[in-house]
Structure 1
Amino acid sequence: MVENRRFLDILAHAVLLLGVLAVAFPVYVAFVASTHPSSDFVSGVVPLLPGSEGLATYREVLAGGGSTQMSVPIALALKNSLIMALAIALGKIAISILSAYAIVWFRFPLRQLAFWAIFITLMLPVEVRIVPTFKVVADLGLLNSYAGLSVPLIASATATFLFRQVFLTIPDELMEAARIDGAGPIRFFRDVLVPLSQTNIAALFVILFIYGWNQYLWPILITTDDSFTTVVAGIKRMADVTDGEPRWNDIMATAMLAMAPPALVVIVMQRLFVKGLVETEK
């Protein structure tokens, strides 16, 4: 039984507020830094109040990159990251839900072996297989392309496992009823399983979109053409200045722009995201 004490309520709210401040304060500092001239950071003292250069800084980085190390506009880098993240998220969901459907609802030889072969790939992260993956992509001529950025990352054992667990909760009687009504495997999948999995699809989409958006190692390895630079790799490139001081206002403005799309996806899909993670009954 949970005791209802005012002291415990105050303590819980204080801990929550401290957590929010710990997360939000660096974001606020980045925003403030993006509104001041770069010269304000030479002394090492970061202002805590917004300046007057915000609109000019954001306009500069969106249109021209804002740095001698970044030869393409940040708007193009944002577009590249968006295409890559959407391709990875949608590709992972499509392949995983079809794989789970085949494993759960079809009876074929070595069905369980196929599932465990997929599941074992969880022990092989991108960093372990990055050299052979790069060799395959290079041999296929997919360097400096959206396909090269996204296709090697669209297989997901985790998503396959999650969809399999969802499908196992659906009774076989539902399949029998659909079969009596004349529904074939494709129609059963389209009209029954996909609608029942909407919340799980939404939750996975949020997670996988952020995963694709935050990719750093693979994009810098697979692209040599600046026109395919992603925004996360662009932030690192803007900070690598050999002569002179980094333009921290441009870097912070780019960081704020890079945070906006994932935050927007989470906000828009928050209800479905939470429901998909906590829902246990179908």
Structure 2
Amino acid sequence: MVENQRWLDILAHITLILGVVVVAFPVYIAFIASTHHPVEFMSGMMPLLPGDNMVNTYTEVLSGGVRAQMTVPLTLMLTNSLIMALSIAIGKIVISILSAFAIVYFRFPFRMTAFWMIFITLMLPVEVRIVPTFKVVADLGLLNSYAGLSIPLIASATATFLFRQVFLTIPDELMEAARIDGAGPMKFFRDILLPLSRTNIAALFVILFIYGWNQYLWPILVTTDADFYTIVAGIKRMADVVDSEPLWNFIMATAVLAMLPPVLVVIFMQRLFVKGLVETEK
């Protein structure tokens, strides 16, 4: 029985508000810092109200980069990050859903062995296997390329496991009905499994897009050509300056702009994202 007490509602709302403040306050500080001159940021007394330098800062950042500290325009870094995030998200979903389809609906030798071998790779993130992965990418000539940024991060044991669990909840009667109607495996996959997995695909796409967008270590390792810099790695390179102080207003403005694409993806796909996370019945 759920108790309906006023003080519990008030406590819940206070907890939620405090959680939002804790999460949102650093973002607010980053925005405030982008509206002031870098001298105020370095003074250690950061104002809590917007300054008068916001229009100038964002105009200069968006107009082609800050010549003192940005080696490439911001729009190019955003484009590179977008290509990388979309390639990783779409690639992971396509490979994972086909792998799960084969494991659940096909009978072949060592089927479960193959699944568990995929699942065990969860213990081997990119950071653990980064040296051999870099060696393979370098030997294949994929450094400073979109393929080198994306392909090593496409395989996903987590997504394969999630799709496998989704397919196991789909009644076998649907497969039998499709077989009676003369549908082949790929027609069954395309016309029945994909529509039933739509919300799960949307939820997974949001998570994987943010995962690809926020990649930091791998892009730094495989890109030495400024034309392939991503936005997250670009922020780090802006802060690493020699013989001068970092222009923190431009760095913070870039960080604020870098947060917008993931936020927009979550907002536009919020309904499918939430439904995909909580839906348990087909």
TM-score by length of 1: 0.97
User: What is the CA distance between 1:22 and its match in structure 2?
Assistant: 0.8
Residue 239 of structure 1, CA deviation: 1.0
Give the C-alpha shift of residue 66 in structure 1: 2.1
Moved more, 92-101 or 13-22: 13-22
Matches within 5 A, 1:26-175: 26-66=26-66, 68-175=68-175
Q: CA deviation at 1:8?
A: 1.5
Does the residue aligned with 1:64 lie in a helix, a strand or coil? coil
Distance in 2, Cα, partners of 1:244 & 1:222: 27
Specify the alignment match of 1:234 in structure 2: 234
SS in structure 1 opposite 2:125? coil
Q: Which 10-residue stretch deviates more, 198-207 or 45-54?
A: 45-54
What is aligned with 1:247? Answer: 247
2-side partners of 1:93 and 1:280: how far apart? Answer: 19
Q: Superposed, which structure 2 residues align to 1:204-215 within 5 Å?
A: 204-215=204-215
- AA in 1 matched with 2:3: E
Stretch deviating more after TM superposition (241-250 or 72-81): 241-250
Superimposed CA distance per residue, residues 101-149 of structure 1 (whole angstroms, 9 cap, x where no aligned partner)? 0000001111111101100111111011111111111111111000000
Structure 1 residue 69 displacement after superposition:
3.4
Displacement, 1:224?
Answer: 0.5
Alignment partner, residue 263 of structure 2: 263
Q: Distance in 1 between matches of 2:152 and 2:66?
A: 31
The whole-number CA distance in structure 1 between the counterparts of 2:83 and 2:63 is 19
Quick one: distance in 2 between partners of 1:268 and 1:208? 15
Task: Name the Cα RMSD after superposition.
Answer: 1.1
Letter matched to residue 37 of structure 2: P
Which residue in the other structure is 2:187 paired with? Answer: 187
C-alpha contact 1:89 1:209 (8 A) present in aligned 2: yes
- Secondary structure in structure 1 of the residue aligned to 2:138: helix
Q: Which residue of structure 2 lines up, in the alignment, with residue 3 of structure 1?
A: 3
Percent of residue pairs bearing the same amino acid type = 79
- 1:67 positional shift: 5.5
1:224-263 CA-to-partner distances (Å, cap 9, x unmatched) read: 1011111001111111122222111001100001100001
Runs of 4+ residues over 4 Å off in structure 1? none
**TM-score normalised over the length of structure 2:** 0.97
Equivalent AA in structure 2 for residue 26 of structure 1: P
Measure the CA separation in 1 of the matches of 2:132 and 2:27. 38
* CA distance, structure 1, for counterparts of residue 67 and residue 48 of structure 2: 24
**Counterpart Cα distance in 2 of 1:150 and 1:167:** 27
State the secondary structure of the residue aligned to 2:36: coil
Deviations 1:152-195 (A, max 9, x none): 10000000000000000111111110111111111100000000
* Aligned residues of 1:64 and 1:71 also touching (Cα < 8 A): no
Partners of 2:114 and 2:203 in 1: CA distance: 25
Provide the C-alpha distance between the structure 2 equivalents of 1:67 and 1:221, rounded to a whole number of angstroms: 24
Aligned equivalents of 1:42, 1:120: Cα separation in 2:
47
The farther-off stretch of 113-122 and 36-45 is 36-45
**Structure 1: segments with no counterpart, 5+ residues:** none
Question: Partners of 2:223 and 2:166 in 1: how far apart?
Answer: 37
Classify the secondary structure of the residue corresponding to 1:26.
helix
Aligned-pair CA distance for 1:21: 0.8
2-structure distance, mates of 1:275, 1:211: 20
Deviation at 1:59, TM superposition (A): 1.9
